[in-house]
Amino acid sequence: MQELQLSDVYSLLEPGPVVLLTTADQGKLNLMTLSWHMMVEFEPPLLACVVSSDDYSFAALRASRECVIALPASALATKVVQAGNVSGRNIDKFALVGLTPLPALRVAAPLIAECFANLECKVVDSRLVNKYNLFVMEVVQAWIDPTQQNPKTLHHQGYGRFIVDGDIIELSSKMR
């Protein structure tokens, strides 16, 4: 994994890919699939996400105030679905799904070795957690895997139907 400039983080999340969210709850690692996230600020990079209070990860995220957002390329689609369909409450979901946790630098939650980018996050605002399960987080450290060139991401439409990234259009724009 190579360090990614924090000012470039938005370009990974703004397109709206399916991501994996990892947590560490008193040493127990877990992961879940997540599509409800958005950027909130460019730099320092802030993002928001909604993690259902029904999810086992919710309690770990709320208590530890840390997570990793990992970006899987489309080749990992079956693992993404598996991670979204099983609770980590009573199992080691990393082992079940076949993904590899790696130690992060600034949070206890693990990176995912197979993902092309990993974002270490700390919760900075939990005012909307009770009502909407909505967390605001700062990305404090970011990594990319330089061996995964031009990864195509997944976009979830519901019930396991994913759009894969297609063509690129480049237009002259000052929109950051």
Query: Is the sign of the CA dihedral 77, 81, 87, 90 positive or negative?
Result: negative
Interaction pattern, residues 135-154, with a second copy; x per rule: CB under 8 A: -x---------------xxx
**Cα–Cα distance for residue pair 69/20, rounded to 1 Å:** 6
CB burial readout 18-36, b (16+ within 10 A) else e: bbbbbbbbeeebbbbbbbe
Among 91, 95, 105, 163, binds a second copy (CB under 8 A): 163
Record the tokens describing residue 90, joined without a space.
């009573």
Q: Please, what is the minimum distance in Å from the beta carbon of residue 47 to a second copy?
A: 9
| 2-3 and 111-112 beta bridge pairing | unpaired
**Cα–Cα distance for residue pair 50/132, rounded to 1 Å:** 7
| Number of residues located near a second copy, criterion CB under 8 A | 56
Contact between 58 and a second copy per CB under 8 A: no
Q: Please, what is the minimum distance in Å from the beta carbon of residue 105 to a second copy?
A: 25
Q: Please, what is the minimum distance in Å from the beta carbon of residue 156 to a second copy?
A: 6
Residues contacting residue 167 through CB under 8 Å, at least 6 positions apart = none
Record the tokens describing residue 37, joined without a space.
């996230």
Q: Using an 8 Å Cβ cutoff, are 43 and 59 in contact?
A: no
Give residue 173's identity as a one-letter amino acid code: S
Q: Please, what is the minimum distance in Å from the beta carbon of residue 158 to a second copy?
A: 5
Q: Please, what is the minimum distance in Å from the beta carbon of residue 121 to a second copy?
A: 15
Interaction pattern, residues 71-110, with a second copy; x per rule: CB under 8 A: ---x--xx--x--xx-------------------------
**Nearer CB in complex with a second copy: 2/167:** 167
Residues that bind a second copy (CB under 8 A): 10-11, 14-17, 33, 35-41, 46, 48-50, 74, 77-78, 81, 84-85, 125, 127-128, 131-132, 134, 136, 152-176
